[in-house]
Structure 1
Amino acid sequence: MLRSSSELLAITLVFCTVLCIVYCKHVVITSPKQALIGSTINVSAILYDGNKIASKSSYRFTWKNIDGSSEKSIDTSNPFCNWTMTYTKDVSHLGRQKLDVSVSEKELWLWIPVAGQIVDIMLVDTLSGGLELIQHQVVRSQDFVSTQNPVNHSIQLWPADKEFLEQNHYYVNTYWFQNCTYLGMSRDLDYQAIYPVAEQYYDIEVLIVASPYPLPEPTTSTTTTTTTTTTTTTTTTSTTTTTTTTSTTTAKPPPRLKRDTNETMHANAAILGINLVKAVREQQLRDRTNNTNQSIALINPLGVRHLSKLSPNDLPPYNCVNRSLIAMDTSKTYGFFHRRIITKTPISGFSSSGKNWLQHWEIINLQIDCKGSPPFKICTRWFNAPYNATGQESCQDYYEYETCNYNYQRYFSDSKTILFFIRNEVSESVNQVTVNIYEAKRQSQLSVVVVPIACTLVAVCLVIFGVAYYMQSRNRFTVEVADFNFGDTQSVDMEYKTFQQRLIDSMRDAWPWPRWRRYSQSSTDHIVETPSVSGGYGNGDVDSNLRYNTLN
C-alpha cells in the first residue's frame, strides 16, 4: 500500500512537471506599492500562457499574506482574479508585507499548481501623496516658480488614501509652515501665495491631521455674577437685588514663548544660510525702540503675499525645528509633506538690434537681449519670409547661456523670418525677427565719371586759352621796314655778322692798336687799306655811287 502511494505521488509530480514545461504559464499581480494601515486595497492577478493570456479553464487563485493575517481561495473559469483586502490596525504591523498568490488548474479530479508570484506592499501609518506647485494651471515638475503669478500649493493624496478618508468621513485639518514659520490652519488641501522676490529659497512644510471627529470650534467663556443684598428692619423689609451682568470673553492666544521664538529664528537662519547673531545686531541697530529679541526677517523672511486665508491656531501639533509631532493620537491619521520653492523671474523685454535690410553679399548680425533669471536656453529656427508664428512651432537644439545677451550671425541668400525660442526654468517665449534681402542696382563710382570729364574740360580750356593768347600776341607784333641812306658807300660792303663777331669788332675799335688791325676781317679795313685808283678817268666817285645804287 505504501509503495503504491509513493508511485502515485511520483507520477503526479512528473505529470505536473510535464505540464509546467508544456504550458509555461506564469501569473502577474497588480497591486499598490504601499498602503495605509486600516485601509482597503484592491489587487488583481492575470494568468499568462507564454506571451498571451491563458484560455478559460477551471482555475483556483489562492491569496494569502505571508504573516498569515488573511488567506482566501477563489475558484473561477477566467484566467484572472480580483481580491479586496483590509489591513486592520489591530492585526497588521507596519513595514514590508508580502502578498502571495498561487494559481492551480483542475485536471480531471486533481488541482495542479501552474503558477505563483509574491509581491511586496509597504504598510505605512501616514498619508501618502505629494505637494504640487501649480501656476497657470500647469504643475511645476521642479521646484522653480515664477515671481509674477500666484502659486497654488496643492496636496494630492494617493487615490486609495483619499478614498479611505472619504469612506470613513474623516475631518481634515491642514497646518502650513513656511521656513519653519507657522502660517495657520485650513480645512482644504491647497493654499495660494505670491513670491515676489527672485532667486530666493522657501521651505514649505504641510501637516495633515485626519480625525474621525471634527475639530472643536473656538469657544467663548460666559461669566454670570449675581449679587443679592437683603436689609431687614423692624418696620419694613427692603430687598435689593443687583442686576445680573453677563460678560463674554474670548480667549486670547498666549504670548509666544521666547524659547520657541529663538528655536524658530535659529531654524530660519540655518535655512537661509545667514549668521543669526549678526542679523539680530543689525536688526537692533535699525530699530532700537523694539524691546524684543527677534528679527522679523527671520520669523517671516522675504514678505510673501498670502492669498489664502488661514485660521490661526495657538499650538500646532508639529515642531518644525526637529520635524516631529508634539502629540500623536492613535485615532487620527497624519500626513507630512515637504517641498522647496525657488523663485525665478520669467523672460521679458525681448529686443533685437541690427540691420534688417541687407544686400546679397552682407551677413546677418543681430544682437538679441532679454530679461529674466538665468540660466537661459536659446534655440533658433528660420522660415521663408513672409511668415507669421502660430505658436505651434517647436525647436530641438537648445544652447545654454548665463546671460540673455546673444549674438546671431548667419548668411542667407533670400529673405527669412527667424524665430528665437528662449526659455528659463519658469517661462518660455517665442519671438520672430524678419530679415529682408534685396538686390541693389549697380552704379559706377562717382570718381570714374567725374575725373575724366573734369580733366577733359580742363584740357579744352587750356587749348582755347593758348590759342587765344597766341592770336593776341600775333596781333600785337608789328614789322617795320626802314630805308636809310647815310651817304656812305661803306654800307655796300655790309655783311651779316654774329654777335661774337660784332663784339670782337667793338673791342678792336675801342683799342686802336696796329696789332689788332692785322686780325680784323672787316670789309671796311680792306677798303681803307686798298689804295685808291685815280686814273686819268677819275672813276673813283662813279664806282662808289654804283655800289650805293646797287645796294638800293
Structure 2
Amino acid sequence: MHQKAAPVIFLICLAKSVSPTSVNLSQDGPGILGSTILFRAQLYDDHGAKLVASDTPHRFIWTDNAIPPHKFTETGDFSTSLWNVTYKAPQYSPGEYEIEVRAQKWVGFFYWDIGSQRITINVTVLLNGEMEVIQNNTILGGKYISYNQEVLHRIRLLEPDAKLLSENDTIINTYWFLGCSYYGSTQDLSFTFNYTKDDLDRTVLMRALVVAGKETNNTIDEDSFSGYVADNISQPESTVAPDNNCEDFPIVPKDPNKYYGYFKRNVIPSAPVQVGTIAGATWLKMGEVLHLNLTCSGSSPFYHCVRFQVGEYNVTGNETCSQARPTTNCQIAVTRYLGQKNTKYTVLFIISNAVSKTVTPVGVTQYNEKHHPQLSVIVVPITCSVLAIVLIIFGVAYYIQSRNRYKIEVADFDFSRNSDTEYKSFKERLRDAFSSAFTRVKDDEYSEEGPSHYSGGGGVWSPTRKYGSMQ
C-alpha cells in the first residue's frame, strides 16, 4: 500500500515545487552572412512577471537546425540566458534557420523541463537596416518632410551587421540616388540634401547603395551610373545604358570579399504652416462679440483648433489640440461672446500639418465704455430755446413794424390861420376837440369866410365849419 502511494506523493511534491513557467525568446537579427546574431531567453512565471534569480539552478539548452548544427548549454541560478551564433561563409549559406531553447529546473534529483520556445532567424546576403530621415535632430517616422529645411539621410544598420563592419575595420562607400538621378557618393552612411519646390507635395524616392570592404580600393566605377547622373553633377562618358526602372538599382559587379546593401525611402516634401494675416478687432467694448479671421499657407491638409486663455499667456510650443478639425483651406474664422467677467483674454490658434505646427497668440482686451448723455438730450432743448428767442425777437419786431404802419396821424388843414398861431401839440388839440364836441357855439361867431376872431385861450371850432375844396 505504501509502495503504491509513494509515486503519487512524489508527483504531488514535484508539481508543487515546479510552478508554471513560460519562455520568451528574442533576437537582434536578421544579419548578413558572417555576422553574429544574439539570442535571448527569459523565464516568466504564470502571472507574466520575470523570474528573479534564486538558489534553484536552471538549465538552458540551445540548438539550431543548421548543418552542422550549433549547440550551447548554460546552467546557473539565473532566469535569463544569452547565446551568440555566427553563420560564416562558405560553411553556411544565406537562408532561414530555426533556433530552439529548452529551459529546465533542478528538482532535487534531476532537471525537469519547465518550458521551451522556437524562433526563426533570417541570414541574408545583403546588409540589413533602414534609411532614416532626420530634420532638426529628429528622426521622422513618416513620409512627410519639410522641403525648406536640410534633410539628413542616414543608413541605420541592424546590430549584427553594424558590429561586423566596425570590428573588421571596413571602409564604407555609399552611392546616393534621388529618383532616376545619381547625386554622388559619401564615405559614410549619411547624406545631406535640400529638396526644392519642384519636389513639393509629390512622392520622391531616395536610394542608397552601400559597399563595404577591407581593401582601400573600395569604390565602384561611377561610369556605371552615367545614365543616372543628376543635372547638377558633371556627367562622365556613358558606358552603361540606364535602366528606365527607377525603383531598381543599377547593376554593378560584386566582389565576394565585400559587403553590399541596398536601401531606399519614399519621402513627400511639404511646405510648413505659415500664418498670414489676422483680421478683426482686438479691443472690444464690454459685451461685444469677438470676430477674428486668420489665413495661413502651407501643404494641406491642415489641422487646427482655437483655445481661449484668461489673461496674458506665454506660448510654450507644446500646446496641443484635443479635437483638431481638418481642413484643406487654411482660413479660420472665430466668433465668440467673451462675457463680462474678465477684461483680458489670449486667443491661441493651434495649426498643424504633416510637417509642422504653429501656435499663434492673439491678445484681446475688453473695456467699459463711459455712458455720456445722448446728443439729442442736449441739442434739442438748446435748439428749441434759440428758436423761441428768435421767434420772440421777430414777433416784437413785427409788432413794432405793424404799429408804425397803421399809426393814424391827424393833420391840421386850417390854412386860414395866421402862421403865428399858438402851437399846440397833438395831445392838446385832441383835448380841445373833445371839449368842443360838447360846447354850443353861437351862429354869429362865424361866417362863410371863417371865424371873425380867434380866442387866445384856445381856438373853438364851429360845428358847421367846413373845409374848403381843394382845386
Query: What's the TM-score bracket when you normalise by the shorter of the two chains?
Result: 0.7 to 0.9
Q: In the TM superposition, what are the counterparts of 1:140-539 in structure 2 within 5 Å?
A: 140-197=140-197, 198-215=200-217, 261=227, 300=230, 321=245, 323=248, 325-413=251-339, 414-470=343-399, 473-474=402-403, 476-478=406-408
For residues 331 and 99 of structure 2, the distance between their equivalents in structure 1, rounded to whole angstroms, comes to: 59
Which residue does the alignment assign to 2:129? 129
For residues 187 and 316 of structure 1, the distance between their equivalents in structure 2, rounded to whole angstroms, comes to: 24
Which residue does the alignment assign to 1:279? none
Q: Secondary structure at the match of 1:126?
A: coil
1:30 aligns to 2:23 (yes or no): no
Pick from 44, 49, 65 the counterpart of residue 48 of structure 1: 44
Which residue does the alignment assign to 1:513? none
For residues 353 and 326 of structure 2, the distance between their equivalents in structure 1, rounded to whole angstroms, comes to: 9
For residues 216 and 240 of structure 2, the distance between their equivalents in structure 1, rounded to whole angstroms, comes to: 16
Q: Secondary structure at the match of 2:373?
A: coil
State the Cα distance separating 1:162 from its structure 2 match: 0.5
State the Cα distance separating 1:318 from its structure 2 match: 10
Unmatched tracts of structure 2, length 5 or more: 411-429, 438-462, 464-471
Q: In the TM superposition, what are the counterparts of 1:60-99 in structure 2 within 5 Å?
A: 60-67=59-66, 69-99=69-99
After superposition, the C-alpha distances for 1:259-311 in whole angstroms (9 at most, x for unaligned) are xx5xx6xxxxxxxxxxxxxxxxxxxxxxxxxxxxxxxxxx74xx67x9xxx99
State the Cα distance separating 1:205 from its structure 2 match: 1.0
Structure with a larger share of its residues in helix = 1
State the Cα distance separating 1:429 from its structure 2 match: 2.1
Which residue does the alignment assign to 1:535? none
Q: Secondary structure at the match of 1:388?
A: coil
Amino acid at match of 2:263: F
Unmatched tracts of structure 1, length 5 or more: 1-6, 219-250, 265-298, 486-547
State the Cα distance separating 1:188 from its structure 2 match: 1.2
Is the 8 Å Cα contact of residues 56 and 79 (structure 1) preserved in structure 2? no
Which residue does the alignment assign to 2:456? none
Is the 8 Å Cα contact of residues 182 and 225 (structure 2) preserved in structure 1? no
State the Cα distance separating 1:329 from its structure 2 match: 3.3
Q: Secondary structure at the match of 1:78?
A: coil
Amino acid at match of 1:357: W
Is the 8 Å Cα contact of residues 355 and 366 (structure 1) preserved in structure 2? yes
Q: Secondary structure at the match of 2:377?
A: helix
For residues 255 and 206 of structure 1, the distance between their equivalents in structure 2, rounded to whole angstroms, comes to: 12
Amino acid at match of 1:205: R
Is the 8 Å Cα contact of residues 184 and 312 (structure 1) preserved in structure 2? no
Amino acid at match of 1:140: L
Give aligned pairs, total.
Answer: 402
For residues 14 and 161 of structure 2, the distance between their equivalents in structure 1, rounded to whole angstroms, comes to: 45
Is the 8 Å Cα contact of residues 29 and 160 (structure 2) preserved in structure 1? no
Q: Secondary structure at the match of 2:313?
A: coil
Structure having the higher Rg? 1
Q: Secondary structure at the match of 2:123?
A: strand
Taking structure 1 as the reference length, what is the TM-score of the superposition?
A: 0.64
Taking structure 2 as the reference length, what is the TM-score of the superposition?
A: 0.74
For residues 378 and 286 of structure 2, the distance between their equivalents in structure 1, rounded to whole angstroms, comes to: 26
Q: Secondary structure at the match of 1:340?
A: strand
For residues 12 and 187 of structure 1, the distance between their equivalents in structure 2, rounded to whole angstroms, comes to: 70
Amino acid at match of 1:62: I
Pick closer, same or farther for the CA change 1:46–1:316 going to 2, 3 Å.
Answer: farther
Is the 8 Å Cα contact of residues 212 and 218 (structure 2) preserved in structure 1? no
Amino acid at match of 1:66: N
State the Cα distance separating 1:154 from its structure 2 match: 1.1
Amino acid at match of 1:430: V
State the Cα distance separating 1:314 from its structure 2 match: 7.9
State the Cα distance separating 1:67 from its structure 2 match: 4.2
RMSD value, Cα: 3.8
For residues 450 and 255 of structure 1, the distance between their equivalents in structure 2, rounded to whole angstroms, comes to: 91
